[in-house]
Amino acid sequence: KGAIDDDVAEADIISTVEFNHSGELLATGDKGGRVVIFQQEPESKNQPQCRGEYNVYSTFQSHEPEFDYLKSLEIEEKINKIRWLPQKNAAQFLLSTNDKTIKLWKISERDKRPEGYNLKEEDGRYRDFNTITTLRVPVFRPMDLMVEASPRRVFANAHTYHINSISVNSDCETYLSADDLRINLWNVEITDRSFNIVDIKPANMEELTEVITAAEFHPNQCNTFVYSSSKGTIRLCDMRTSALCDKHSKMFEEPEDPNNRSFFSEIISSISDVKFCHSGRYMMTRDYLSLKIWDLNMETRPVETYQVHEYLRSKLCSLYENDCIFDKFECCWNGNDSVVMTGSYNNFFRMFDRGYHQDLTLEASRENSKPRSVLKPRKVSTGGKRKKDEISVDSLDFSKKILHTAWHPLENIIAVATTNNLYIFQEKPN
């Protein structure tokens, strides 16, 4: 999905991708403040080879650029995160956020319209009351399906710094929003106040040593959430212990290998994403070079570590110079927590099978992604003689990167966002 030409408008760059709880809808947000929702083709449900067919369902402008006059700052319209609320009725609800303001959107369908009003004509003009001599009963008539997106709540003015995460609680009533130094707890129904549950801002900003990079609620314990930091630590907090969770219940941190110590150690240890698995037993964290899986019962070290692109360790200097070292890669679990996925450079994305300890590198690009064609595994040569199908590290394109990926909650269908295109892949049917 997306434009084919090579000039990319800044506004079209995809900034977040999220499946809803059934996987039937897939939402993307972009730097232009738009949300585009794709719907799985209803007919495709009976045809295994077409399960991954998604078409545009609704598009709407979620955020507009704003200006903070007090701080003399422009507020970008870029959508940082989208999170779906569990479905309660025929309508769908989602939360979308830019740097400062979170909005709750209702997406609903209309396929009938009322006709036969007594006091107005079909075009909306009011009738002359003197001409009304009979009483009509309005009726509903079928019409073409219309998908409407309407903003139901606006949660504003609660964050001094840029919002990096939102996460809906398993109680379906509350959600959290995190910025660089604070995490707030909201009720979905109440917009004029939120509760500050984490505040790591030091009294003197010159003493600031770390920032919050991501935060997420536990999938089934409504009192538990985690947040990660730029220092490579993950703190698990329990809201039952105190109203302000500045003292964590658990802290997950892996001591650094002295052999790998370098000028860039601190930068590459910063965690860019944290995600609980569906069962809630494990959580996954992504730093610049690796993906780690932690057992919530063991804080000392991760139970699994996967190298995403270890061959870049020797290239950190040039990645620092072109600012790529600060890229924030996201990660995701498959529906049964057996496989994890994350992105890399050159439009590569990586999958790691936890049970079989196998890993796979695939590429999302127009050249090799004709519809229905099977993706070929890619390999990067890390030195010595390059084999025929391998790509040398020096020829990787660092401007093409996959930061945002999503996995269908029930099936092996994945969504991968390259700069301004969305690729949807499905498992090859037998």
pLDDT at 388: 73
pLDDT band at 2 (very low <50, low <70, confident <90, very high): low
Apex 265 CA angle, 260 and 266, nearest 5: 155
Apex 87 CA angle, 82 and 89, nearest 5: 135
Checking if the pLDDT of 45 tops 70, the result is no
pLDDT at 71: 81
**307: which 2 tokens?**
């190298």
pLDDT band at 6 (very low <50, low <70, confident <90, very high): low
Checking if the pLDDT of 239 tops 90, the result is yes
CB-count burial class (<10 Å; 0-12, 13-18, 19+) for 306? buried
Please name every residue paired with 75 in a beta bridge, in sequence order, or none if there are none.
66
Give the β-pairing of 379-381 and 390-392. parallel
The DSSP call for residue 404 is E
Cα 160 from Cα 99, distance rounded (Å): 10
pTM of the model: 0.89
pLDDT at 390: 82
Q: What is the DSSP string of 103-116?
A: EEEEEEEEEEEEE-
pLDDT for 268-301, tens place per residue? 999 999 999 999 999 999 999 999 999 999 999 9
pLDDT for 181-215, tens place per residue? 999 999 999 999 999 999 999 999 999 999 999 99
pLDDT for 298-334, tens place per residue? 999 999 999 999 989 988 999 999 999 999 999 999 9
CATH number of 107-426: 2.130.10.10
Tokens 């738009």 map to which residue? 34
The DSSP call for residue 320 is H
pLDDT at 278: 95
Cα 312 from Cα 227, distance rounded (Å): 27
Q: What is the average per-residue pLDDT within 85-91?
A: 92
pLDDT band at 49 (very low <50, low <70, confident <90, very high): low
pLDDT band at 144 (very low <50, low <70, confident <90, very high): confident
- Say how many residues make up the chain: 430
Cα 224 from Cα 211, distance rounded (Å): 20
